[in-house]
Amino acid sequence: NAGVTQTPKFRVLKTGQSMTLLCAQDMNHEYMYWYRQDPGMGLRLIHYSVGEGTTAKGEVPDGYNVSRLKKQNFLLGLESAAPSQTSVYFCATLVGWGNEQFFGPGTRLTVL
């Protein structure tokens, strides 16, 4: 039982390049979230999904897109990376509203 996994763990991009971050979960949770964590800013919600085939914008969605084609996977895409997107990205899942979130180990992204 792996819980929540994130791929890749580290990545360095040049400005303008694109990439996709993968979050996978084996807990059959309905809700999935993408956060970014920056020093002094705390965890900020980028996008979230309340079930397969659904997505919604969070607090800081600009420059990111997401897809949830399968219940177990939540993808975060950067179409044209910018230095402001240098951050640590965390995926989280939730079994149901009002419950605790389960977090993945994070992806450290640097955009040069």
Partner 1 sequence: EDQVTQSPEALRLQEGESSSLNCSYTVSGLRGLFWYRQDPGKGPEFLFTLYSAGEEKEKERLKATLTKKESFLHITAPKPEDSATYLCAVQTTSGTYKYIFGTGTRLKVLA
- For partner 1, the closer of residues 14 and 42 by Cβ is 42
Is 10 a binding residue for partner 1 by CB under 8 A? The answer is no
- For partner 1, the closer of residues 17 and 103 by Cβ is 103
| Other Cβ atoms closer than 10 A to 111 | 19
Question: What six digits make up the tokens of 76?
Answer: 């975060």
Q: How far is the CB of 56 from partner 1 (least distance, A)?
A: 8
Give the torsion through C-alpha atoms of 105, 66, 47, 88, to 10 deg: 30
Q: What does the binding site for partner 1 look like in residue numbers (CB under 8 A)?
A: 4, 31, 33, 35, 40-45, 48, 50, 58-59, 90, 92, 94, 97-106
